[in-house]
């Protein structure tokens, strides 16, 4: 087993595909990896390859985590090209030669004992060539440097055209392990000759402390404490999918909130992706726009979201149920035993709710309307208690399955540790 020196004698794990700031789903997965790595080493050496290095370095949650910058343009135009070249060299000389002469991004990859890939959703045909290039750029440097690359539970596929199948098969079969984030992903992988176990999102294993729950309770407005309330967590990605289908996404959510208010139920609007730019991860702007569309703003409050994924998740535990669109907001609700009514734009939602027998809680973006959402909200409101029992009953099995994501990487790292 090849060992890399960290200068401390400890293992170094590289992480790609997420950031510490912005998308709280990414942070939840990242923090879950840190907690799992602490089972092997109380102070693991983690190196996060980040497209937001300045923000991630400034985060108080960083701790001792090293932030390695990968500016998107350079990552795709330069580092990706060099990694392809390095792979060709490695075919002739082997990865040892590549590691010896590597520099820049490839050198930082080569210094790791393993790379954990948390991309979440990858190699999805139809999402465009830039995202395909990004998916490849996340893993090809590992192949060139001979560093085991572990793709933890991810939604993968579909693979339709010949070239997409060939590229995806070439990359995925070189990974040390691939875990499908649900049965459909596993079937799609099998269709290109990749056998992979399926497991729920790894962030189901995120452990919350009593301090996290206490902080969450303080963020719930005083008027809502002890009263039934529903969380509405909007998503810019889902709004765009709805707009493409001619659906008034914010109008439907506002109608549902008005209906809940009329029934005497508070509504808490809670963003789950906290970028503030014009990109797809600015749910703060969506929350404000939704609030403006709601008639009774005295009973509907926008919660100022914490930049800590653990506290953000703990807020969901206070709700009667949730109306979600962002994938990891749905995970957060389920992880807390709270049933989510989910507006979906991808098969990954049915994979997720399938673990809880909750496929009927999904409304596809193209089928959304104010009338349908209000009807489904009324149904869930009347059946919230048995739905909570259903979710809670499935949670132990889901947690056991989610741990499968870590079996291969933890086994590899335990072996590397014994060699030191």
> Which are the contacts of 49, defined by CB distance < 8 A and separation ≥ 6?
14, 15, 16, 68, 70, 105, 108, 109
Quick one: CA dihedral 363, 368, 371, 373, positive or negative?
positive
- Is the residue at 70 inside a domain? yes
- Is the residue at 4 inside a domain? no
> How many whole angstroms separate alpha carbon 200 and alpha carbon 352?
7
HEC string of the chain equals CCCCCCCCCCCEEEEECCCCCCEHHHHHHHHHHHHHHCCCCCCCEEEEEECCHHHHHHCCCCCCCEEEECCHHHHHHHHHHHHHHHHHHHHHHCHHHHHHHCCHHHHHHHCCCEEEECCCEECCCCCCHHHHHHHHHHHHHHHHHCCCEEEEEEEECCCCCHHHHHHHHHHHCCCCEEEECCHHHHHHHHCCCCCCCECCCHHHHCCCCHHHHHHHHHHCCHHHCCCCEEEEECCHHHHHHHHHCCCCHHHHHHHHHHHHHHCCCEEEECCCEECCCCCCCEHHHHHHHHHHHCCCCCCEEECCCCCCHHHHHHHHCCCCEEEECCHHHHHHHHHCCCCEEEEECCCHHHHHHHCCCCHHHEEEHHHCCHHHHHHHHHHHHHCHHHHHHHHHHHHHHHHHHHCHHHHHHHHHHHHHHHCC
Q: What is the mean pLDDT of the chain?
A: 95
Question: Do 350 and 391 share a domain, yes or no?
Answer: yes
User: How far are the Cα atoms of 46, 149, 212, 309, 416 from residue 329, in angstroms, in the given order?
Assistant: 25, 27, 17, 10, 35
Q: How many domains does the chain have?
A: 2
> How many whole angstroms separate alpha carbon 399 and alpha carbon 111?
32
Residue 1's pLDDT is: 43
- Is the residue at 1 inside a domain? no
Host domain of residue 260: 206-400
pLDDT at 396 over 50: yes
Of 146-160, 358-372, 402-416, the one with minimum mean pLDDT is 402-416
10 Å CB burial of residue 411 (0-12, 13-18, 19+) is exposed
pLDDT at 265 over 60: yes
Question: Do 222 and 156 share a domain, yes or no?
Answer: no
Residue 20's pLDDT is: 97
pLDDT at 354 over 90: yes
Question: Do 155 and 223 share a domain, yes or no?
Answer: no
Mean pLDDT of 269-280: 90
Q: Bridge-partner residues for 266, per DSSP?
A: 229
pLDDT at 10 over 90: no
- Is the residue at 5 inside a domain? no
> Which are the contacts of 311, defined by CB distance < 8 A and separation ≥ 6?
212, 215, 216, 219
pLDDT tens-place string over residues 42-83: 888 999 999 999 999 999 999 999 999 999 999 999 999 999
pLDDT tens-place string over residues 285-302: 999 999 999 998 889 999
- Is the residue at 2 inside a domain? no
Question: Do 153 and 273 share a domain, yes or no?
Answer: no
Question: Do 195 and 237 share a domain, yes or no?
Answer: no
> How many whole angstroms separate alpha carbon 39 and alpha carbon 245?
46
Q: Are 365 and 258 in contact (CB under 8 A)?
A: no
Of the pLDDT bands very low, low, confident and very high (cuts 50, 70, 90), residue 155 is very high
Question: Do 145 and 222 share a domain, yes or no?
Answer: no
Nearest to 307 by CA among 219, 214, 231, 230: 219
Question: Do 183 and 241 share a domain, yes or no?
Answer: no
Question: Do 216 and 313 share a domain, yes or no?
Answer: yes
pLDDT at 280 over 90: no
Question: Do 296 and 162 share a domain, yes or no?
Answer: no
Question: Where do we find the tokens 């983690």?
Answer: 46
Of the chain, the percentage scoring pLDDT greater than 70 comes to 97
- Is the residue at 374 inside a domain? yes
Give the CATH number of the domain where residue 220 resides: 3.40.50.2000
Question: Do 269 and 380 share a domain, yes or no?
Answer: yes
Of the pLDDT bands very low, low, confident and very high (cuts 50, 70, 90), residue 257 is very high
Residue 254's pLDDT is: 98
Question: Do 109 and 151 share a domain, yes or no?
Answer: yes
Give the CATH number of the domain where residue 24 resides: 3.40.50.11930
Q: How many CB atoms lie within 10 A of CB 136?
A: 21
Question: Do 232 and 139 share a domain, yes or no?
Answer: no
- Is the residue at 163 inside a domain? yes
């Amino acid at each position: 087993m090849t060992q890399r020196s960290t200068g401390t004698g400890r293992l170094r794990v590289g992480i790609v595909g997420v950031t510490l700031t912005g998308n709280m789903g990414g942070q939840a997965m990242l923090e879950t990896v840190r907690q799992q790595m602490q089972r092997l080493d109380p102070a693991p050496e983690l190196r996060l390859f980040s497209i937001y290095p300045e923000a991630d370095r400034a985060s108080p949650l960083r701790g001792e985590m090293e932030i390695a910058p990968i500016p998107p343009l350079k990552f795709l135009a330069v580092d990706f090209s060099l990694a392809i070249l390095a792979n060709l060299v490695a075919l002739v000389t082997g990865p040892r030669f590549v590691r010896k002469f590597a520099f820049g991004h490839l050198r930082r990859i080569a210094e790791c004992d393993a790379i954990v890939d948390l991309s979440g959703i990858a190699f999805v045909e139809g999402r465009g060539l830039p995202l395909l290039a990004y998916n490849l750029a996340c893993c090809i440097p590992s192949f060139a440097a001979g560093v085991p690359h572990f793709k933890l539970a991810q939604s993968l596929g579909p693979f339709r055209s010949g070239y997409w199948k060939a590229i995806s098969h070439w990359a995925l079969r070189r990974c040390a392990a691939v875990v499908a984030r649900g049965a459909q992903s596993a079937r799609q992988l099998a269709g290109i000759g990749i056998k992979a176990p399926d497991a729920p999102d790894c962030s189901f294993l995120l452990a919350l402390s009593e301090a996290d729950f206490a902080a969450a309770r303080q963020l719930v407005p005083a008027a809502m404490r002890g009263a039934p309330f529903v969380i509405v967590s909007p998503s810019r990605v889902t709004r765009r999918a709805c707009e493409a289908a001619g659906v008034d996404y914010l109008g439907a959510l506002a109608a549902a909130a008005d209906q809940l208010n009329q029934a005497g139920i508070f509504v808490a609007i809670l963003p789950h992706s906290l970028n503030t730019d014009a990109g797809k991860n600015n749910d703060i702007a969506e929350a404000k726009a939704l609030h403006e569309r709601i008639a009774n703003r005295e009973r509907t409050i926008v919660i100022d979201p914490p930049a800590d994924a653990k506290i953000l998740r703990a807020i969901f535990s206070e709700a009667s149920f949730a109306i979600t669109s962002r994938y990891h907001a749905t995970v957060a609700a389920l992880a807390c035993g709270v049933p989510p009514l989910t507006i979906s734009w991808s098969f990954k939602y049915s994979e997720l709710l399938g673990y809880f027998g909750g496929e009927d809680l999904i409304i596809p973006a193209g089928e959304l309307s104010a009338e349908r959402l209000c009807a489904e909200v009324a149904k869930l409101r009347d059946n919230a208690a048995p739905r909570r029992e259903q979710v809670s009953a499935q949670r132990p099995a889901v947690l056991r399955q989610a741990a499968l994501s870590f079996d291969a990487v933890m086994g590899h790292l335990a072996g590397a540790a014994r060699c030191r």
